[in-house]
Amino acid sequence: MIADLNSAEKIATNEQYDVCICGTGPAGITVARALAAQGRKVALFEGGGMEYSELSQNLYQGESVGLPYWDAVRTARLRYFGGTSNHWAGRCSFFDKVDFERRNHSGLPGWPITREEVFQFFDAACSILDISMEAFPASRAAKWKGENFRLSDRAHSPPTRFGEKYHQELKISSKIDVYINANLTNIRLRKSLDAADSLELRNYKDQKFLFSASNYVLAMGTIENARLLLNCDKQIPTGIGNQNGMVGRCFMEHFNVEIGRFVSDDSPIWQHDNIQINPSEDLIRKLQIGNAVLSFDRNTSPASYGRLGKLRQTLREAVCKSSLATDLSRNMVDFNCPGDGVISSLIEQAPNPDSRITLGPERDMFGLRRVRLDWRATAADLKTIRTLGLEVAKEMARTGIARVQLKDFILDNTKEIGEFGQHAHQMGTTRMSEDPRFGVVDTNLQIHGFKNIYVAGSSVFPTGGGNNPTLTIVMLSERLGHHLAKFRTG
Ligand SMILES: Cc1cc2nc3c(=O)[nH]c(=O)nc-3n(C[C@H](O)[C@H](O)[C@H](O)COP(=O)(O)OP(=O)(O)OC[C@H]3O[C@@H](n4cnc5c(N)ncnc54)[C@H](O)[C@@H]3O)c2cc1C
What pLDDT does residue 270 have? 75
CA of 468, closest atom in ligand 1:
11
Buried b (16+ CB within 10 A) or exposed e, 29-65: bbbbbbbbeeebbbbbbbbbbbeeeeebbebbebebe
DSSP for 48-66, please give it. Answer: S-SS--HHHHGGG--EE-S
Ligand 1 geometric centre to CA of 116 (Å): 25
392: three-class secondary structure by DSSP: helix
Ligand 1 geometric centre to CA of 298 (Å): 30
Residue 40 Cβ contacting ligand 1 at under 6 Å:
no
Nearest CA to ligand 1 atom 48: 83
Query: What pTM did the predictor assign?
Result: 0.93
Ligand 1 geometric centre to CA of 345 (Å): 21
- Confirm if 144 and 171 have CB atoms less than 8 A apart: no
DSSP for 76-139, please give it. Answer: TS--STTGGGGS---EE----HHHHS---BTTB---SS-HHHHHTTHHHHHHHTT--GGGS-GG
Q: Candidates 88, 131, 240, 371: which one to mutate for ligand 1, based on the most atoms within 8 Å of Cβ?
A: 88
CA angle 328, 330, 336 (to 5 degrees): 130
What is the C-alpha separation between 446 and 454, in angstroms, rounded?
Answer: 4
Q: Give the helix, strand, coil percentages of the chain, each rounded to 5.
A: 30, 25, 45
What pLDDT does residue 8 have? 73
Q: Candidates 4, 54, 220: which one to mutate for ligand 1, based on the most atoms within 8 Å of Cβ?
A: 220
Residue 49 Cβ contacting ligand 1 at under 6 Å:
no
Residue 224 Cβ contacting ligand 1 at under 6 Å:
yes
Nearest CA to ligand 1 atom 53: 76
Ligand 1 geometric centre to CA of 300 (Å): 33
What pLDDT does residue 332 have? 46
Which domains are present in the chain? 2-135+156-253+351-377+425-484 (3.50.50.60), 301-338 (no CATH)
CA of 222, closest atom in ligand 1:
26
Q: Average pLDDT of each block of 10 consecutive residues along the chain (490 residues)?
A: 88 84 98 98 98 97 93 85 97 94 81 96 97 73 79 92 98 98 98 97 96 98 98 98 98 96 80 84 95 88 53 56 55 56 95 97 98 96 96 92 92 89 96 98 98 98 96 98 85
What is the C-alpha separation between 29 and 480, in angstroms, rounded?
Answer: 12
